[in-house]
Amino acid sequence: MFEHMNPSSLQTLQQLVLKLDLSLENEPHDPLMGLPEGLARIPSGNNLREIMIIVFVSEFRQCSARSLHWEPLDEVLGDRRRFARLQRVKVLISSSLHDEGKLLMDMSEVCFSKMRSLHGTNFTFQLKS
pLDDT tens string 46-95: 999 999 999 887 654 455 555 557 889 999 999 999 999 999 999 988 87
Structure confidence at residue 56 (pLDDT): 82
Determine the pLDDT at residue 69: 76
Task: Show me where the domains of the chain are located.
Answer: 7-128
Q: Which of 127, 65, 58 is nearest to 96 (CA)?
A: 58
Alpha helices (H) along the chain? 35-40, 67-77, 100-110, 113-117
**10 Å Cβ neighbour count for 95?**
21
Q: How far apart are CA 73 and CA 51, in angstroms?
A: 12
**1 within 8 A of 38, measured Cβ to Cβ:** yes
Mapped onto helix, strand or coil, the DSSP state of residue 71 is helix
Percent of the chain with pLDDT over 90: 29
